[in-house]
Amino acid sequence: MTWALATIALLLIGYATVSRRLEGLNVSGAMFFTTAGLLVGLVGLVDLEVHGEQVKLLAEITLTLVLFADASRISLRALRHESAVPLRLLGIGLPLTIVAGAVIGAAVLPGVSFAEAVVLAIVLACTDAALGQAVVSDQRVPSRIRQGLNVESGLNDGLCVPLFFIAIAFAETDAGTASSASAAELVFEQIGYGLVGGILAGALGGLALRFATSRRLIEPHWLQILSVASALLAAGIATALGGSIFIAAFTGGFVFGTLRRDTKGEVTYLVDEGGELFNAVTFIVFGAVILGPALDEVTWQVALYALLSLTIVRMLPVALAMLGTGARSPTVAFLGWFGPRGLASIVFAVILIDDTELPHLQTMLLAITVTIALSVYAHGLSARPLTERYARWFNAHPRHALPAMENTPAPEHRLRAPAEAGHGRR
């Protein structure tokens, strides 16, 4: 791995230099970094081992920061005022997506048991709005639709984490690689200690922030470091106790965000920037270490599952979830299509590689890899043109005859981007 770090740094510098131009050309960051990673991986410049500690540590740091930031952005007050879209997507669409993904996975993928298919479905039920940033940042799209997708993306990763560990326990018990007692104990430790770590760290960080800002005891730039330290504290406590750092990060971010709600100024900029940085590196490593080696092993069954996962498995549950809301067909299609698979699915795949011994793990990993890769390009390329088309459809209605459901305003939740960076502003 002599040139791995230098290569990754060079790619980051290259993208940063022309990032605005690439955005204008409809090339998303995920597309650039996945493609670049694939190319440098093929020539051996990024020769990390997928089973190596470096890849696992990268995955853990990235998702920890992103989950903490995502949870800290969510306002319960705002959700109470506008819950129709996000709660339907999470409360109805997400469970139905998991069920549909499991049924199709068990039917399409050779040898994969239903228990393994449930694990696979949960991994691919997580959505990543950052892969189609234009969808949630274009102000011409009705706020109710933009914020519905934004909140769904911010919350479903955290909701899927405990489901993921529970599903793994059932799958390993079903496969005979773990006893039911040991699997249950592991799940309770992961969830329970993860919650403990998150609540303690989030409360301590949030209260420290309130105390310091109310008495003007803290230097402004240390506000950012305090927030990052709170995320790391959540992960550290969970690790020491044997809990899930991801559950801790999500819980900690939620508690921290709730307690800091009345403090003025932006305090999670560094967390957001760190998440952006490690997110980019993760996609480079995904292209080089996971996607590249998988290309020679893809079967038609895996390709079919990936296609179905991004279409029927996502779009039909969303359509069912939106029944009774009065949403027009273009809106239902827009919400259904834009469920990109990205960071959380990659991290879950790394966990599967390192921590499980499922009989058909290789087939599952191929399905995850192909689905993510297809999503990176399909959603990245379609985000801007389909957003333009949807915005034109909505705004073509006379002002007095705008679709009622879509025209209902929704409170703004900050996007997964640093607050001072353009689209991230409130």
Segment 334-348, tens digit of pLDDT: 999 999 999 999 999
Instruction: Give pLDDT, residue 178.
Output: 76
Q: For 72-113, what is each residue's pLDDT tens digit?
A: 888 777 777 777 888 999 999 999 999 999 999 999 999 999
Q: Which stretch of 173-187, 317-331, 403-417 has the lowest confidence by average pLDDT? A: 403-417
The whole-angstrom separation of Cα 32 and Cα 19 is 10
Please give the Cα distance from 205 to 211 (Å, whole number).
10
pLDDT score, position 262 = 66
**Percentage with pLDDT > 90 across the chain:** 68
- What pLDDT score does 424 carry? 40
CB 376 within 8 A of CB 34: yes
Can you tell me the mean pLDDT for 308-312? Answer: 97
What is the token pair recorded at 191? 């969830």
d(CA 25, CA 8): 23
CB 358 within 8 A of CB 172: yes
Task: Please report, for the chain, how many H helices and E strands are present, in that order.
Answer: 20, 0
Q: Look at residue 275 and tell me whether its pLDDT is greater than 60.
A: yes
- Percent of the chain at pLDDT > 70 equals 95
**Sign of the CA dihedral 94, 97, 103, 109?**
negative
266-292: buried (b, 16+ CB within 10 Å) or exposed (e) per residue? bbbbbbbbbbbebbbbbbbbbbbbbbb
How many residues in total does the chain contain? 426
- Report the run of H or E that residue 176 belongs to, with start and end: none
pLDDT for res 313: 97
* Phi-psi group of 324: left, alpha or beta (phi > 0 → left; psi -120 to 50 → alpha; rest → beta): left
Asked whether the predicted pLDDT for residue 314 surpasses 90, the reply is: yes
Under 8 Å between Cβ of 117 and 101 = yes
For the chain, give the mean pLDDT.
Answer: 90
> DSSP characters for 67-117?
HHHHHHH--HHHHHH--HHHHHIIIIIHHHHHHHHHHHHHHHSTT--HHHH
* Residues 298-309 pLDDT 10s: 999 999 999 999
What is the pLDDT averaged over residues 118-147?
89
Whether the pLDDT of residue 423 is over 60: the answer is no
What pLDDT score does 365 carry? 96
The structure tokens listed for 402 are: 């705008």
Q: Please tell me the class of the 50-277+299-416 domain.
A: mainly alpha
In sequence order, the 6+-apart residues with CB closer than 8 A to the CB of 300 are none
DSSP state, residue 132: G
Give the other-Cβ count within 10 Å of 185's Cβ. 12
- pLDDT tens for 151-188 read 898 889 999 999 999 999 999 998 887 778 877 888 89
The pLDDT assigned to 78 comes to: 72
Reply yes or no on whether the pLDDT at 265 is more than 70. Answer: no
pLDDT at 413 > cutoff 70: no
Residue 219 has pLDDT above 80, yes or no: yes
Predicted pLDDT of residue 418 = 56
Identify the three-state secondary structure at position 344.
helix
DSSP characters for 352-396?
Answer: HHHH---TTHHHHHHHHHHHHHHHHHHHHHHHHHHHHHHHHHHHT
- Residue 214: band (very low, low, confident or very high) from pLDDT cuts 50, 70, 90: confident
**Up-side HSE of residue 129: CA atoms within 13 Å toward CB?**
30
Higher pLDDT, 245 or 214: 245
Res. 370: pLDDT tops 50: yes
Q: What is the mean pLDDT of residues 393-401?
A: 90
Tell me, what's the pLDDT at 230?
Answer: 96
Burial of 404 (0-12, 13-18, 19+ CB in 10 A): exposed
Residue 282, C-beta contacts closer than 8 angstroms, at least 6 positions apart: 58, 59, 62, 343, 346, 347
Cα 346 from Cα 123, distance rounded (Å): 8
Segments in 286-322 forming alpha helices (H): 292-294, 300-310, 312-321
Encode pLDDT of 221-252 as tens digits. Answer: 899 999 999 999 999 999 999 999 999 999 99
Q: Which residues contact 394 (CB under 8 A, 6 or more apart)?
A: 140, 141, 142, 330, 402, 403, 406
Token output for 272: 């957001």
In this predicted model, what pLDDT tens digit does every residue of 48-72 receive, in sequence order? 888 888 999 999 999 999 999 989 8
The rounded distance, in Å, linking the Cα atoms of 157 and 122 is 10
- What pTM value is reported for the model? 0.92
